[in-house]
Structure 1
Amino acid sequence: MAAAIAGAVAFTIVAAPTPASAALPDGYRVETSRDGDSLDMQIVDGAGRYIGWAEFNADPWGDTPGDAIRAHDISGDGLGVEAWLDIDPGSSFQADRIASTRGHTSPYATPWITGNIAEGTRVGLRICLVQGATIYCSGTQYTYA
């Protein structure tokens, strides 16, 4: 609750919970590739078509920032693609960063979502398909910042 005290305003910040999600639809699969601690997760539909991917880039390279995620949607199937990153995961997944293609016409790649993460910190990445309130997510792949 916000309160005004002698002209100042205090705010209580409440962290948003990770949205509830279901497993990927039948026939869909995820292919994972790694380059050092960087990680790509590609989603393939039941017909074998690549429909999008999520990226975690651990270290800066050229114009690409480190400690960053982004999502790519390359299929005009009506589903958006999201990359979810859990920083220093505990016993349950908590998305600390989400890159989403929601509301954009495919093909579309999000800008990099970035922020410093201490070197050696464990992170978890998920790729999700989204449509309205429906969310389908992969299992979590782990790597390090």
Structure 2
Amino acid sequence: MQWMAWTPVTAAFFVTIVLILVGMTVWQMASPSVARKGFLPIETHRGDRLFISLLGSAFIHLAWLTFTETPVTGIPSATLFLGVEAVADSLGVVTTEIESYSDAMSEILSDHSVIGAFEIAIVWVFAVFRWG
């Protein structure tokens, strides 16, 4: 497995996919899914909607990377995982001059993207699972 660049983020991605598949298997055994037709023009089961939502999320991320130069994650989700200081430092905002969290967020959001491909993909996944 030397060919793969195994970083913590890569490992977390694959672990998350495995956990989703295990969870879907347990859910299917506990409560078998019923075919339904939502806004997608086909009848789908729970596993079909998972596949469609993951595939759509991948295309959303690829389109984002192709057509924009902004980060894949928007600023609010980055602050959730990294903290205001780390995001402010990475964007060049001087945090010693900023007194509070709200001041830091307004400074960061004034010059940078609020939404990213990650947030769009999460909405897509929930929409497909709920109404797909």
The structure whose residues are more often helix, as a share, is 2
The structure whose residues are more often strand, as a share, is 1
User: Higher relative CO (CA 8 A, sep ≥ 6), structure 1 or 2?
Assistant: 2
Superposition TM-score tier, normalisation by shorter sequence: under 0.3
TM-score (norm 1): 0.21
